[in-house]
Amino acid sequence: MTEHIQFSPEKDCLVLLDQRVLPNREDWFDCTTTDEICYALVTMVVRGAPAIGVTAAYGCYVAAREVQKSGVGEWRSALEAKLDQIENARPTAVNLRWAVREMRRIWNEAGSVALGELCGIWLARAKEIHEGDIAMCEAIGTFGGALIADGDTVMTHCNAGALATAGYGTALGVIRGAVDQGKRIQVIANETRPFLQGARLTAYELHRDGIPVKVACDNACALLMKKGLVQKVVVGADRIAANGDAVNKIGTYGVALLAKHFDIPFYVAAPVYTIDPETPTGDHVPIEDRTPREVTHVGDHQITPDGVEVYNLAFDPTPNELIAGIVTEKGVLYPPYAEAIAALFR
């Protein structure tokens, strides 16, 4: 599926499938302003590191058009402020920062370009990033699919599928790649509290594609592994540090520890631009602390007593020593990761 992120020439805006209401409804959210782009990012209308990056790229165009329509004289400073707003919308996924920096790079290289011309340049680049992300995920699927054996049951945590990217997916791209290679694969999708990306989104995608999937409670992982029901674990990442530590949805670290205990290969799948050579380790990545309501409520139903505080840290870093391989569009990286990543960027 690739239709969940669309640029509409008729509306001159970015149109997003609202992932907050899946799988019960398929609603669409129009982004015509910078505030709407940031709202979509913060509230998780769109989520998943690569999808966030694609949205941010289009968001820069939306910001430029918004400034153009305002007729403000000092448009450069006004546009810079809007780019800062987009870049700071969410702190953990490096793809967002990468996309905004890419647009700034293009602007700097263009020199004293007119705003209208910059809009056209940015829209063209956003479309390239959009299409390129799908191609990267398909390459990840080819490399990662080779790591999966015929008959394997693969556990995944959160949603790193088409919905989390421009299409095809990273972790689910590996699963789709294995299926495309003719292998019979089953999937265990951890529910992924509190936002339930696995139960709502991963199950939605795989069921729609006819790939056998079962949803498991997060706290069932140890028993499922002990029973021999899991042969591989594949997850995505919102940022990979220079030493190979991978930051993914909260709970991933625990799954990796269990996989190590039961001698189950644990793989991380992500495009190269999710690797951040500026971040030395996973402990240096800012971890988003989200609204308590995601924990205290399921939908509109409150499940905790009034006045009780909660933790809602959205991500955790998985140490590199727990990771069997990092699957990218350039191939699979193996330990020692610091050397493999340095060589990749050279």
CA 93 remoteness from chain centre: 7
| Single-letter residue type at 38 | C
Asked if residue 219 belongs to a known ligand binding site, the reply is no
The CA angle 230-170-264, to the nearest 5 degrees, is 25
Active-site residue, selected from the candidate residues 152, 180, 209, 238 = 238
DSSP 212-255: -EEEE-GGGHHHHHHTT--SEEEE--SEEETTS-EEEETTHHHH
Instruction: Please indicate if the annotation marks 127 as binding a ligand.
Output: no
The answer to whether 115 and 150 are in contact (CB under 8 A) is no
* Alpha helices (H) along the chain: 34-42, 49-70, 75-87, 94-110, 115-145, 171-180, 197, 203-209, 221-226, 252-261, 293-296, 337-345
**Rounded to whole angstroms, what are the CA distances from 145 to 43, 325, 332?**
32, 13, 11
| Contacts of residue 310, Cβ cutoff 8 Å, sequence gap at least 6 | 292, 295, 296, 304
| Chain centroid to CA 209 | 20
Backbone angles phi, psi at 16, to 5 degrees: -120, 140
3-state class (DSSP) for residue 125: helix
Rounded to a whole number of angstroms, the distance between the first and last alpha carbons of the chain is: 34
Rg (CA), the chain: 20
**248 assigned ligand-binding residue:** yes
- Separation between Cα atoms, residue 66 and residue 182, nearest integer Å: 48
* Of 10, 28, 7, nearest in space to 19 by CA: 28
Query: Which of 233, 195, 189, 190 lies closest to 212 in space, CA to CA?
Result: 189
Examine the residue annotation and report whether 283 is marked as an active-site residue of this protein: no
Binding residues for substrate: 47-49, 90, 197, 248-249
Catalytic residues: 238
> Which residues are known binding-site members?
47-49, 90, 197, 248-249
